Amino acid sequence: MTGPLDGLHVVELASEISGCYAAKLFVDLGAEVTKIEPPAGDPLRRWGPFPGGVPDPERSGLFHYLNAGKRGATVDLIRPDGLAEARGLIAGAHLLVEDFTPGTLEGWGLGPDDLGRLSPNLVLLRISGFGQCGPWQHRRATPLTVQAASGWVSNRDPDRPPVGVGARISEYVAGGYGALGALTALRLPPAGRVREVDVSQVEALLSTLPYPMLMAQRMKNLGLPANLRSAPMLGVVRAADGWVGINCLTGQHWLDVCAMLGLPEYGERQIAIMLGGPERDEFFGKAEPLLARQTVAEIVELGQALRIPAAPVNDGATVLECPQYAERGFFGQAGGPGWSFRRPGPAFRFSKTPVPQPRPAPRLGARPGRWATAARSLNTTGPQPFSGLKVLDLTTFWAGAYLTCYLGAFGADIVKVESIQRPDGHRYSGAFAYEGDDWYERSPIWQGTNLNKRDLTLDLTSERGVDIARRLAAAADVVVENFSPRVVEQFGLDYDALAALNPDVIAVRMPGYGLQGPWRDYVGWALNFEQTSGMSAVTGYPDGPPCNPQGPADPIVGVHAGVALLAALEHRRRTGEGQLIEIAQIEVAACVAAEPVIEYSMTGAVRPREGNRQRGYLQGVYPTGEEGVWVAVSLPDDGRLDHDTFDELVTGWTRAQAVAAVVKSLQEQGIPAERVITGDRMYDGDLIGGQLDVRGYYEEFTHPITGPHRYPGWPFRITPGPVRHHRAAPPTLGQHNDEILRDLGLSADEVASLRSERVIGERPLGA
């Protein structure tokens, strides 16, 4: 059985994780990928981890994880014969992936004009720190400074420097967006010239944040501190045998946690405790000893029985013991003769085009060969990549809604279903009841994820509501949902029911823990998935607790779901078949946190948290002469200077200067350095005025209730391609009820009847 992208030819010219990961996703979907390496090999061959810790370029675990299933071509692009070999491969490709600094391809004679003479309709995926255009395109960057410039370096402890996300997780994010952008570009009709997909790593990380720029603007308008942050409750806490995450998302969760701990007197003091101070210390002084007497498994089991989002904080060792991963067979075996390791499986599961076990990664020295399969075009027709695509959006909160927002941005007709009995829970994130009768329309987090949609309210507990949903599903190309499995199943809207109505429908189901397994009905949100997958365990200070990466799991999941959906749409275009796509959110999170489990399975060791340090660099986050303002500095480690000495020297210099002076001085010397950006700086400053605005990252739309806002777009530009990131402002609750129901053929009297029976409506019940 062939994969959904069988016949897609990809050439990869990548030197780090982002490009390799984008190409890995294409391999997982059945594409034929040829990886071009220089004679010295991909740098990841020297990264490891290695069996027993002994370096061997043929046994690097991370290299094998990212490159399994690819064909190899060892080519010296400096030599004319090597360049000719590379040109021959590219001439037969649909897509070229590269992640070098801007100008590198052009220096080899492989710029867009040169490539156009080889393959006029080639799609060129380019991934770089700040993108291929704008005044910062040539700015020096490392993964740490990219995190700093994008808001991924966060205050975890008020008495210590802010810290970024560990295990090179940030580098996978741009690769995921790159794969999504490339598949989107491949749907456009041939342009007769190379089509570039220009991905900015900074924009990619910025795109995964829960709209801090919108929240900062909103808090300022309310007269509150722009960067006010409350800690998730209870957060990551000690159990008898490890760390556990207890992640209250609602007031009811908090009340239930207080009852579980036998501390009901704190049930009405949630806000004060979240904001810190004496009440927080008092509460934790009582709660922590109670939790420390129970095991992680006991706390998770009891919390989930009470429908509290509790999860283990797994590391590279304990993630392999997690019952949900184990029963689903997620972590597979890889390696070669005499050595092996465990690695994450694919980020998606298809009912009709299952992902095959990949071949081993290519050996260094492989010679380029002919394409093994016949090439096939993926182009469709239409002015936008998703023109004519009808999508029924049954999502809530962020991950699923992020996917449908993307589809709507580029032409799909999205009908988002909520209800007046239970509106999308994201409407209440960053919205405050004291603001007036329409307070539920004011959430910047909901708005940022729900542009480009039409909004319909339906009571799916009613027969009439479900009947309308079924009629919409029968006419849809795609149905998307991200509830726990039992929710849509009890409404009779699971895949089997949808396929009975519409055999060629593609259903995208995005449950937190998967459709099967002992944890299938567990409740959870982004923090749970970061904790369960190992993302939290690698983030934080070496001598401190694990820290949550602050919620990027949701959009990362949405991006992977988009990649899988576009592949399934290609399979349907070719065969007429729809299918079920399952995206378990804990599995996507584990795919981008792969290295710790690979390392543990190879060496038997769990690497300690590293704070802001990373092998191969002298780097850190340092104070400046401005209160509360920090700067990230990073340069290659040549082994001549002890890292502690480096930190001491840099701190002594930076703390006496303004941050702008530090960054300017270091960048002029070719040393990557960036201010640690916060939400209130994401609409102004050099990065925004000097780079993001030039690239058109933000677009302004006027919301009917809250007025004009600048909304983030997508972290890439497709040229030639769509010139806008979004098409319409986010809707109000039930804004399109009459329009959508009229399109279904309902009369005015029938619509009035539905409204009187509260099957539809424009205000939440009780509001």
Contacts of 627 (CB under 8 A, 6+ apart): none
Q: pLDDT at position 294, please?
A: 97
Count of Cβ atoms closer than 10 Å to residue 5 Cβ: 29
Tell me, yes or no, whether 708 lies in a domain.
no
What b/e readout covers 264-283, taking b as 16+ CB neighbours within 10 angstroms?
A: eebeeebeebbeeeebbeeb
The verdict on 314 and 335 lying in the same domain is no
Closest CA to 25 of 564, 555, 400: 564
Q: pLDDT at position 27, please?
A: 97
CB 164 within 8 A of CB 653: no
The verdict on 172 and 288 lying in the same domain is no
Q: pLDDT at position 375, please?
A: 87
The verdict on 562 and 433 lying in the same domain is yes
Taking the C-alpha atoms of residue 717 and residue 286, their distance in angstroms, rounded to an integer, is 52
Cα separations (Å) of 570 from 30, 531, 564, 577?
12, 34, 10, 10
Residue 480 is part of a domain; what is its CATH number? 3.40.50.10540
The verdict on 249 and 310 lying in the same domain is yes
The verdict on 584 and 627 lying in the same domain is no
DSSP assignment letter at 279: H
Cα separations (Å) of 588 from 22, 393, 474, 482?
14, 21, 29, 14
* Strand 413-418 with 454-457, pairing: parallel
The verdict on 140 and 16 lying in the same domain is yes
CA angle 517, 521, 522 (to 5 degrees): 100
The verdict on 174 and 269 lying in the same domain is no
Q: Block means of pLDDT (10 residues each) for the chain, length 767 residues?
A: 90 96 97 96 96 94 97 95 95 97 95 94 97 95 96 90 96 98 96 96 96 89 76 88 93 93 93 84 95 97 96 98 97 93 97 88 91 86 92 96 98 98 91 87 95 98 97 98 91 95 97 97 94 97 92 94 98 96 98 97 95 96 96 94 96 96 96 94 75 93 95 97 96 98 97 97 89
DSSP assignment letter at 163: B
Through-space distance between the first and last CA atoms of the chain, rounded to whole angstroms: 53
Tell me, yes or no, whether 596 lies in a domain.
no
Tell me, yes or no, whether 699 lies in a domain.
no
Active site residue 459: no
Tell me, yes or no, whether 228 lies in a domain.
no
The verdict on 582 and 614 lying in the same domain is no
pLDDT tens digit string along 474-514? 999 999 999 989 999 999 999 999 999 999 999 999 999 99
Give the pair of three-digit tokens for residue 277: 């101070």
The verdict on 263 and 180 lying in the same domain is no
Question: What value does the CA radius of gyration of the chain take, rounded to a whole number of Å?
Answer: 25
Taken in order 633, 634, 640, 643, is the CA torsion positive or negative? positive
DSSP assignment letter at 471: H
Give the pair of three-digit tokens for residue 541: 């200070």
Q: pLDDT at position 374, please?
A: 87
CB 634 within 8 A of CB 626: no
What b/e readout covers 660-672, taking b as 16+ CB neighbours within 10 angstroms?
A: eebbeebbeeebb
Cα separations (Å) of 366 from 70, 369, 474?
11, 9, 50
Taking the C-alpha atoms of residue 298 and residue 678, their distance in angstroms, rounded to an integer, is 38
Q: pLDDT at position 383, please?
A: 86
The verdict on 502 and 535 lying in the same domain is yes
Hey, is 200 helix, strand or coil? strand
Q: In 29-131, which ranges are continuous DSSP H helix?
A: 61-67, 80-91, 104-107, 112-118
Domain termination residue (choose one: 681, 701, 733): 681
Tell me, yes or no, whether 702 lies in a domain.
no
Structural domain for 470, as ranges: 390-591+723-757
Domain termination residue (choose one: 656, 681, 706): 681
Tell me, yes or no, whether 745 lies in a domain.
yes
Taking the C-alpha atoms of residue 310 and residue 254, their distance in angstroms, rounded to an integer, is 12
Taking the C-alpha atoms of residue 33 and residue 12, their distance in angstroms, rounded to an integer, is 7
Tell me, yes or no, whether 548 lies in a domain.
yes
Domains in the chain, number: 4
Q: What is the pTM of this model?
A: 0.97
pLDDT tens digit string along 606-626? 999 999 999 999 999 999 999
Residue 296 is part of a domain; what is its CATH number? 3.30.1540.10
Tell me, yes or no, whether 695 lies in a domain.
no
**707 DSSP β-pair partners:** 703
Taking the C-alpha atoms of residue 84 and residue 96, their distance in angstroms, rounded to an integer, is 16
Give the pair of three-digit tokens for residue 530: 């970061």
The verdict on 244 and 330 lying in the same domain is no
Give the pair of three-digit tokens for residue 297: 């498994």
The verdict on 430 and 534 lying in the same domain is yes
Q: Which of 6, 477, 554, 680 is catalytic?
A: 554
Cα separations (Å) of 666 from 20, 155, 647, 689?
30, 23, 15, 21
CA angle 535, 342, 531 (to 5 degrees): 20
